[in-house]
Amino acid sequence: MAEGFFGELADQVGYPFNQIPVEAYVSAAGGYGQATLCGTIGTAAACIGTVCDVDTSKKLLAELSKWYKQEKFPNYQPEGLGLPQTVSESVLCEESVGKFMEVSGFEYGSAERKSRCAAVAAEVTRKMVELLNAELA
């Protein structure tokens, strides 16, 4: 998420986006290591809040979260793993990843689970950019 958004803006716009360390958002993974809020949604809140005023941020984050809860993930599977899709019905990592693990049989530490979450992060980044493009550009 942070690499896709801030990294792209750093390349295209430069300052001040090139001052944001994307590595600061890596610890969001695994629901901030506590299986709580999906790190992609938390990082999206930071990304949106960097380029939008408070009211717009709240509106877009609510829209993104609503979409997240209803979306079948993962759609984007560039590695061709054929991962099963699940609907989280929640923005909590425990629910989102837990349902995938339950349906797929893959453990949390598996490469497949990591690919699934990479796809979720990528798809949420794309959706967030679509919302921002419509709202700001």
Partner 1 sequence: MNEISRKEFLKGVGKTVAGVTVVGALGSVLTGCSTPAAAPAAAPAAAEKPQWPFPYKKLDPEKVLARGFKGYKEKGG
Name the residues that contact partner 1, by CB under 8 A.
1-5, 7-9, 12-13, 15-17, 19, 22-23, 25-31, 33-35, 39, 43, 49-53, 76, 78, 93-94, 97-98, 101-103, 105, 107-109, 114-115, 117-119, 121-126, 129-130, 132-133, 136-137
Shortest Å distance, C-beta 81 to partner 1: 12
Measured from the CB atom, the residue of 8 and 62 that comes closer to partner 1 is 8
122, amino acid identity: A
Nearest distance from C-beta of residue 58 to partner 1, angstroms: 13
Distance of alpha carbon 68 from alpha carbon 42, whole angstroms: 12
DSSP string spanning 13-51? Answer: T-TTGGGS-GGGGGGGHHIIIII-B-HHHHHHHHHHHHH
Closer CB to partner 1, 3 or 69, in the complex: 3
- Nearest Cα to Cα of residue 35 among 116, 124, 113, 95: 95
Q: Which is nearer to partner 1, 65 or 76 (CB)?
A: 76
- CA–CA distance from 28 to each of 24, 82, 84, 110, 116 (Å)? 9, 26, 24, 18, 15
Nearer to partner 1 (CB atom), residue 91 or residue 122? 122
Beta-bridge partner residues of 86: 73
Measured from the CB of residue 21, what is the shortest distance to partner 1 in angstroms? 10
